[in-house]
Structure formats: C-alpha cells, structure tokens
Chain A
Amino acid sequence: MIRTLGGATLGFLLGVILAASVNPFVGIVGFSESNSSIALGYACCLSIGALVGLAADKQSGFSNRAASAGVGAALALLLAYVFRELPLPWLNLVWLDGTAGPMSELPFVLLPVVGLILGSVFGAARGKAAP
C-alpha cells in the first residue's frame, strides 16, 4: 500500500512538473489542434511512463531498467491514447461554463493522471515478480 501511494505521489508530481513545463508552449489549445502539439502530448506521456518504469527495479520482474522503462513507455502510450479517444461525455469539460473540450487535451489533466496511474501501478508492482 505504501509503495503504491509512494509511486502514485511520485508519478503525480512528475506529471505536474512536466505539465507546468510544457503549458506555456502549448497555450490554451493544449495537446490539440495541430499534429505537433498532439505529438508533444504523447511524447510527454511516454517520458512519464519511461521515467516511472526506470524507477521500478528487478523485483518487479524485469531483467533490466531499460526493459522496465520500455514497458512503462508502452503502457503510457496506451493510457494516453485510450484517455484521448474514449468518447464519454464526462471526459468533456463542456458542462463547465466558460470552457469546453476534452479533458485529455489539457496538460494539467492528462499528464498528472498518466503519472498518477502509472506511478501507482509500478509502485504496486515493486516486490511482485512476474507470475
């Protein structure tokens, strides 16, 4: 439990820091509109996944750190893709007055969420080797 919470905190903070770094560049449109900003969104998620994976150790069942970073990046890609593409109304901020659009396109939503989920998953995986 402590490992899961620790991983989640680490991942969340990583996401917030990265979001704060890229937010001035992407502006109000976030990770939408142009292909470059969408690609930047995916790149940020991949970085979070790779970093969270790097923090995992051999006790999680990986042969080396590169492998765990690779798995983290692959999971982050899938998570970001699913989060972006899921056509659910509650993922859209249109119900909030004054703003609109999918939450997954906002750096301050997408990156901390990806960090939080992957951090807790890799935190929980520590000490649990592959079945």
Chain B
Amino acid sequence: MPNRQTVTLRAILPMILVAIAAIFALWTLIRSPHYRVDDAYIVARYAENLVHHGRLTWNVNEPPVEGFTGYSLLFIMIIATALHLPPLGIATAVGILAWFIGARLLYECHKPLGVSPWAGSIAATLFLCAAEQTTHAISSLETELFITLTIACAFVASQRGHQESGKGALWPLPILALAVALTRPEGLVVGAAFLFGVLLRERNTWTKWISPILFLFVLPFGALQIFRRLYFGSFLPNTYFAKALEAGQSSVFGSSFSKHASHYILPVLVICVVAVVIGRISNKTISPLSRPYQNARWIFFVGTGPSFIAISVSYLRSDLVMNYSERFAYHLFGLSMLVVLLAIGEFFRHFANITVARPIYSTLFILSGIGLFLPFAHALERHPGERAYRFNYSSSTETHYQLVADWIKREISPNATLAVYPDAGIVPYSTRLRTIDFGKLNDSYLARSGNDPRKTVDYFFERKPDVLMIALTGGLERTYEKTGDLLLADARFSAYRLALLTTNHGTGLAVFVKR
C-alpha cells in the first residue's frame, strides 16, 4: 500500500506539470511583440458609439448595422469604455485570463470524466503550450473567451452526471450556455447541445429544468433576437451575410481543421486506439467504469458531437476571412482538448491492464511516449513562426495603418466620408470618420449583394466617399482582390487622386482623395 507521501506526490506531480506549462505560457506572452487584430477595433468602435453617442451602430447618423460577431466582447468593451478604461487593453486582459482559466478548467475535467489526473495535466499542458494560443489570447478578439466557455459548459454538464436528477444547482449550465451563445453565434449550438445532453439524462425530472432554462437561457436569448430584429432589422448578424460563400467558392476550414487535428488530436487518438486494441486482446477483464462516469461521458459526447458537426458544417459554408493562426479551427480547440483528455485517460486505463511479454510492453511504452510527445513537438515547433507572424502584423500596423490614420487625422476634415477596402479596424477607429466598409462586415448592402465586383464598384461611385484607403498586394497594379483592381481601373475613378502611398515590396496601403 502506498504511503501518505507517495499519495501526496502522485496528486501534486500532475499539477506541477500544468504549473510549468503555465510559466512557459506566461513567458511566451512576455516575449511576444505587441499584437492586436484589426477586427478588434471594429468592436471597440461600436462600444464607443454606444457609450458616447447612445447608438449601437457603425456610423452614428446612419441606420444600425450589426458588424460584430458576438455580444460578450461588446459588453466587455462597453463597460470598459463607460468606466474610461482602454477597451482594447481590457479585451486583451480578458483573453489572457480566459486562456489560463481554460487550462485550469480543462485540468479539472478529469474528475467528472473519470480519467487519471495525468490525462488532465497533459491536456492542460498542451492547451498552454500550443503556439497559436498566445496569438489568440492577446488578439483582443473573443477567440480565447469562446474556447474557455466551451470547456466550462462541458465541465459543468459532465458534473451533472454525478448528481441525482433534478438535484443540486441547476442554474450554472443555462448561464454558461447563454454566455457561450452570446460570445459567438455558433456558441448557441454548443450551449444547446450540452443542455440537451443533460436534459436527456435527467428526463425523469425535466420539469425542474424548465425554470432555469427558460429564465436563464431561452428568454434572454429570445429577447436578444427580438432586439436584433427590431433594432438591426435581422435575426442574423451582418457578418453572417458578409461571410456567406457563393456557389463555386470553397472554404479554408477543411484544410485548416485537418492540419489542426493532425497536429493536436490524431497522435493521441492513435496511441489510445492501439492501447485499447492491445489491452482488449491481451486482457479481456478491464473493469468497466462506474455509472456516474458513464453518465458524465455520455453527456459529454452528446454535447460535443453535435457541436463539432454543426460548427464544422457552418464553417464549411462560410468565407472565413481573418483565419490567422487557424482561428476558426481553434474555436473547437477547447472541445478538441477534452477529446484528447479522454483519449489519454483511456490510454492510461488500458495500458495499465495490458499483459504481454516485457519486450512488447516496453516497445509499446516507448512508442506511446513518443506519440504523446508529438502534439507537444508540433506545438513548440510552431512558436518561432507564430512569434514572427505577430511581429510582422504589429510592424505592418505601425508602418502602414497607424501612419495612414495619423495622416487622415491631420489632413482630412472630420466631416469627410472614408471608404476602407478591406480592413475596417484601426483606421476608422482612430480617425472616427464616417466610414463605408468595403470589407462588407459593417455594410448591410455590401454584405447582402453577393460577390459581384461590378455591383461593388457601382456602389462606391454611388456613395462618393471623400477618401479611399485600399490595401495593395502588388503596388498600384494589384489590390487585395479583383474588385479593388476594377475600382482603380474604372474611368470614374479619375475623380480621385493618389494622396499617400505606403508600401513595402508592393504590399501596403494607398490613400486616394477626391480631386
């Protein structure tokens, strides 16, 4: 029988591993260059317009448009703005905090799911070591918050597997389901799927769930939908229409997610399958899990399966712009890491019961160790690349976007109308000018007009903006996409003159003003 010291050491060692990973994560944050995604400024502009002008809209004196993705980040920025705190700095702090809380929750998930603490610590360590996580944590967008809320939903839902039907606190899950639904539109599926999983298991006492689900999830979300319909004129955000794929277009999600899965999920699944197969062949007496753990896992799979499928299908039908650092695949990272946690847990459970000759056992041990190392190898291998990406992004923000914003503030009248193509973040936010967003997110006409370049060009000349900021990829001959090329080549564009050009090897920004 192990003595007390051994038991304490066994309990502490997995936590030490997570703590070391947390220090590493902190170190990557400290070493990271200043980085903020352009889209975060869009949300900050909405928050400022609401706080300072009382209107939740892109341009103050225009009909409201919903060009932000979710309400959680907006609420955070509204509160920060109202309290005279920097909204983008607060959003970054929330992202970082969410990252560490997510790791902690991920580790804790080993308890309700009935796996070894080592499985929890390995999954949490991977969660903290993945190079892309640093980028998402400091991006000022809602990515990390969404990931953590999905883990929290799974954690609370799987804990219900250990409680008597209808007993205990019923309010945390509906609140978390609402929070995840407010963070990103696809969060509605995650929240609803976990609620459905719990309701299915506790169907005998389903009446006890009516009040919490109705008052904490259905009514608040329903009220938001009514507000959307009345205020913005649509049940769906403008971003949904802006990102809808046209026939013939293909989404980047498939390749992005397969890369993500092959790095972080597949290696663990392979060693789990091999250990289970060898365990079943060599020893048929592996003890089954107790009923509460089976319940918890059942709820987990009912919640995770539909979430994976629904989110993947919606992304496969979308034009995923700003998919930096595999961002859209990372929205599933929390649930992916929970699958990894379960797979590692099953690996440990079966590996401990394998009875084969020692040379075979040792070989399996070594190969499994290398297999477990693979996701970490990929995670660490990506760090220099991610750091370089953040540095380049930050440097291009300073040398192009900030430069243009400062120039516009200095040279252009505050009553002028600015057109941006396609980045509607930092320049409209810094200049506070009335802005037409040709990146579509904040323009209901462009978001719904499809991808016809002619229509977009005609719309530009109908609106007659005073200033145009356009992204270039090959000097003045090649812009961000075909529509931009057509716009610059159009005869009507002779009404504009080039006022500022900031390019580096042909890539950068051009600013045109009305003659």
Contact = CB atoms under 8 A, between A and B. Distances in A.
Interface of A: 60-62, 67, 70-71, 74-75, 77-79, 81-82, 85-87, 117, 121-122, 124-125, 128-131
Contact of A61 (B273, B356, B367, B368): B356
B93 interface: no
Interface in B347-378: 355-361, 363-364, 367-368, 370-371, 374, 377-378
Given A67-B282, A77-B274, A82 B359 contact: no
A130 B355 CA distance: 5
A81 B278 CA distance: 16
B405 to A, nearest CB: 41
A121 B277 contact: no
28 contacts: A60-B356, A60-B357, A62-B281, A62-B282, A67-B282, A70-B277, A70-B281, A71-B277, A71-B281, A71-B282, A75-B274, A75-B360, A75-B363, A75-B364, A78-B368, A78-B371, A81-B270, A82-B370, A85-B374, A86-B374, A86-B377, A117-B363, A121-B359, A121-B363, A122-B359, A125-B357, A125-B358, A125-B359
Given A67-B282, A128-B358, A131-B355, 16 more contacts: A61-B356, A61-B357, A74-B278, A77-B270, A78-B364, A78-B368, A78-B371, A81-B267, A82-B374, A85-B374, A87-B374, A87-B378, A117-B363, A121-B363, A130-B282, A131-B358
Given A67-B282, A70-B277, A82 B367 contact: yes
Interface string B78-112: 00000000000000000000000000000000000
Contacts of A121: 359-360, 363
A61 B378 CA distance: 37
B363 A61 contact: no
B363 to A, nearest CB: 5
A47 B244 CA distance: 46
Contacts of B374: 82, 85-87
A87 B357 CA distance: 30
A26 B199 CA distance: 52
A25 B359 CA distance: 35
B18 interface: no
Contacts of B355: 61, 130-131
Interface in B378-396: 378, 381
A67 B357 contact: no
A86 B371 CA distance: 8
Contacts of A79: 367
B271 interface: yes
Contacts of B271: 78
A81 B282 contact: no
B360 A129 contact: no
A60 B115 CA distance: 31
Contacts of A122: 359-360
Nearest to A61: B357
Which secondary structure dominates where chain B touches chain A? Answer: helix
A38 B277 CA distance: 22
A78 B270 contact: yes
Given A74-B278, A75-B274, A87-B381, A128 B367 contact: no
B431 to A, nearest CB: 45
Nearest to B280: A70
Contacts of A82: 367, 370-371, 374
A12 B273 CA distance: 26
A125 B370 contact: no
Nearest to A81: B270
A6 to B, nearest CB: 14
Contacts of A75: 274, 278, 360, 363-364, 367
A46 B361 CA distance: 18
Contacts of B361: 131
A121 to B, nearest CB: 5
A125 B282 CA distance: 14
A83 to B, nearest CB: 9
A39 to B, nearest CB: 14
Contacts of B267: 81, 85
A32 B360 CA distance: 29
Nearest to B262: A85
A80 to B, nearest CB: 10
Contact of A74 (B274, B377, B378): B274
Contact of B274 (A78, A86, A124, A129): A78
Interface string B274-306: 100110011000000000000000000000000
Contacts of A67: 281-282
Nearest to B380: A87
Give the most central of B274, B371, B377: most A CB within 10 Å: B274
A102 B462 CA distance: 56
Contacts of A62: 281-282, 356
Nearest to B371: A82
Contacts of B360: 60, 71, 75, 121-122, 125
Contacts of B367: 75, 78-79, 82
Contacts of A81: 267, 270, 371
Contacts of B363: 75, 117, 121
Contacts of B357: 60-61, 124-125, 128-130
A76 to B, nearest CB: 10
Contacts of A86: 370, 374, 377
Nearest to B366: A82
Contacts of B270: 77-78, 81
